[in-house]
Structure 1
Amino acid sequence: MKQYINPDNSKTFREKTKKVQELINTALYILDKFGIPLDNTARRLEKMAISFLASGDIKNLRDFVSAKDLNSGYALKTREIINFVNKYFSENISPGSYDDIRRKDLKLLTIAEVVLQSSPNSATNDSTRGYSINPTYAELIRQFGEKNWEKSVADRLKNIEPLNVKLKRERQISKVKVTLPVGGQLTFSAGEHNDLQKAIIEDFLPRYGFGANVLYVGDTADKYLYLEKEELEKLNFFEISHEELPDVIAYSKKKNWLYLIEAVHSSGPINEIRLLQLQQLTKNCLADIVYVTAFLNRSKFRQFMTEIAWETEVWIADNPDHLVHFNGDKFLGPYRKD
């Protein structure tokens, strides 16, 4: 059976007994076959698994055959789930973390209806509401270990679209394709911030980039969506893992200009403080720096206009053929101190 959690990846998992580790990996195997997406951290998977086991009163491998469900009258409140996992799975979860059970640990399971709420029409923060395994899934759990179990699961659930398929479809639908100036494509997750980054790459750089290549761009779902680490290192750029990275970095070999571009949707223009940070971080850079703040439209620009630092540029996506220069005595270009 696949090991979904490696002890090397989770301190709490490593500290558990071998039997509990096997129980958790078995629970994740079952959830995998039920179509629950498991693309998460080891600790998050661990907590989902033990909350699932608590919802069925499963304390060891032998208990799968007698897993309880909502029809049996069994349901644990979130605080009771914490007590259960602390007692049986060597956890030390604070009682004050009860809301994390609902919002994080059981979230995917309740969305997929593998785990049901005892009073689904009650308020979101109803402390009397319990959680228990859906009888349909509990029946399959009780059959776990029987011959052709996976086929039985597939047959029984054939009319239920798995959550991992639903989420995959939604993610594909909500992706934004971006074409790089030098060819090739990126795929952003949907959102106004990423729409603006798409405009920066497809509209700003072809107009004002002097043949610039994109060397870095982050996505709201993937901080390092595109990264040319070696090229940045050649320019003596600061450590790419630094939290102060701008949204888009591009380099024009023709001009030896490095563009540091902030895409502003709700916050983050290049103000005087941000400019000083970037100047300090790039003090050893071999290229001349061009600082650009980008906005989707003029109304958004007006919200931040008084914050923009001098010696920087502003570009507005719905007026792509114009720049606003905060450089005083010059137009687009790096502002040298000599």
Structure 2
Amino acid sequence: MPRICASCDIRPENRCCDSVGKWERTGQTNSRSMPCWRRCVTKVSKRTSAAAAKKIRESTEVLEALGFPRPQVNERSALTLLSLLDLRATESWADARAPLMGITPMMEFFANHYGKRYAPNSRETVRRHTVHQFVQAGLVVPNPDRPSRPTNSPKAVYQIEPSALKLLRTFGTPEWPTRLSAYLASVDTLKRLYARERKTLRIPVVLQDGAAILLSPGGHNTLVKKVLDDFCPVFTPDGHVLYVGDTRRKWAFFDSESLRALGVEMEEHGKMPDIVVHHVS
């Protein structure tokens, strides 16, 4: 076996997924006529596979108990919850932890510990159709290490909410029903609390006609605020702001009637500008 494959730069002796990974030949040779190896085809033993399937079923039961709607109760969401708890197939729910996890590390966790591989282009599906709903439900906190970090930042991370972590550590024990009832009774309060915290981090902007809007924190929206606060009063003093986009939601401000009167049609799912200002010199 070569120490390193000249064509793919993979070292076969370096496993990438603990005890469930195994290096395999691709059946091809590289430019040096040496056998080419591919990175870690996950081989899960029957015992580990059974434990993984059981843990995924349990995670699905947890999501159902927490009241998530049926479309949200699926394997992808179950795996996402397990990754956020850093919970391996053979571990107890009492072993649940609360690491900071980005979307890509979550997907790597699916593969490395549960043998479930998702295509790299599934990243947005995980973020928008699972993690986003977890955040909205108060189950997960976005960017607890830096709340002002933009949601579309490649450095975005997520962490299980502390009271949810305490609850989930009791799953499968006699304490679970009582703890679950108490958690569900408090979850609306928690959601309002976190929503209020997120709101205080938003960027306030007052438009030229006096209308006030709030933009998501950080990143590109800081520049949008500077354009509206500093550029427009100097270069378009009598202009009318007709549209302002947001990194989190496109339609932070949208004067559809004025745009339509000017003959401008904006498609909801098309690419949007950051700001539209109408100014006649």
TM-score of the superposed pair, with normalisation by structure 1: 0.39
